[in-house]
Amino acid sequence: MVDTRLTILLIDENPVRSAILDDGLREAGYTNIVRLDTTHELLRRVFSVDPDVIIIDLANPSRDVLEQMFQVSRTVKRPVAVFVDQSDTAMIEAAVDAGVSAYIVDGLKKERIKPILDMTVSRFNAFDRLSRELEQARSELAERKIIERAKGILMKSRGISEEEAFVLLRKTAMNEKKKLAEIAQSVVTAAQLLG
């Protein structure tokens, strides 16, 4: 269930189509709607509104407008739903690559707005969670690699076992109140400077 107190930025150059979207949102209980009737200086205007969700109706989008909208999607990190009348595979792929949460072709109907908005926010949240988990896994892997390198350096330079090298790193980290990976990075950096 999407929070109806969300700030929704509705971008549409066509006043009739914009009114359809606005009516659908209001009927679904959304009242905090900011409407833009142009894509001119879109990124700056999106930052000034700081919306929770962005809905863009592009009807028949040009490549320039699509690129500007995709830049917004990549930069702002908010759920974005895009309504278009016509599309092709390249546009769909570009939208997905840019992080657009919902790309709706020929689907501008007032009664569809709420379920589309719910799906847009849910899909964005799921993708955002996966992205954070992936970044955390990458960070942990990088830390493990640096710890392994530091252990190897200590084993070679001090003639100690892998376990002894790990204990030395851990003890130093505890004594200095730092993360193990920070101490390991210091060992690797020192070895590079001295090597």
**pLDDT, tens digit, 9 for 90 and up, residues 136-179:** 999 999 999 999 999 999 999 999 999 999 999 999 999 999 99
- Note the pLDDT of residue 87: 73
Domain range summary for the chain, segments of one domain joined by +? 8-133, 136-194
Category of 177 on φ-ψ map: left (φ > 0), alpha (ψ -120 to 50) or beta: left
Instruction: Assign 1 a pLDDT band (cuts: 50, 70, 90).
Output: low
The pLDDT of 62-81, averaged and rounded, is: 77
Considering the chain, what is the average pLDDT of its residues?
87
**pLDDT, tens digit, 9 for 90 and up, residues 79-130:** 988 888 777 787 778 777 777 888 888 767 888 888 888 889 999 999 889 9
* 36: β partners: 11
pLDDT higher than threshold 90 for residue 185: yes
- Note the pLDDT of residue 61: 63
8-133, superfamily in CATH?
Answer: Response regulator (3.40.50.2300)
- Note the pLDDT of residue 102: 86
Measured distance CA(71)–CA(74) in Å, rounded: 5
Whether 8-133 shares its CATH topology with 136-194 is answered: no
- Mode of pairing for the β-strands spanning 102-105 and 80-84: parallel
Measured distance CA(167)–CA(93) in Å, rounded: 49
State the DSSP H helix or E strand holding residue 59, giving kind and residue range, or none if neither: strand 53-59
Q: Look up residue 39 and give its two tokens.
A: 């894509």
The pLDDT of 57-85, averaged and rounded, is: 77
CB 49 within 8 A of CB 34: yes
Q: Which residue has the tokens 């990190």?
A: 77
Sign of CA dihedral 92, 97, 102, 108: negative
Measured distance CA(94)–CA(84) in Å, rounded: 14
Q: Nearest CA to 59 among 88, 97, 17?
A: 17
Please report, for residues 136, 150, 158, the alpha-carbon distance to residue 81 in angstroms, rounded to integers and kept in the order given: 27, 47, 59
CB 20 within 8 A of CB 104: no
Class of domain 136-194: mainly alpha
pLDDT higher than threshold 70 for residue 26: yes
The pLDDT of 23-28, averaged and rounded, is: 91
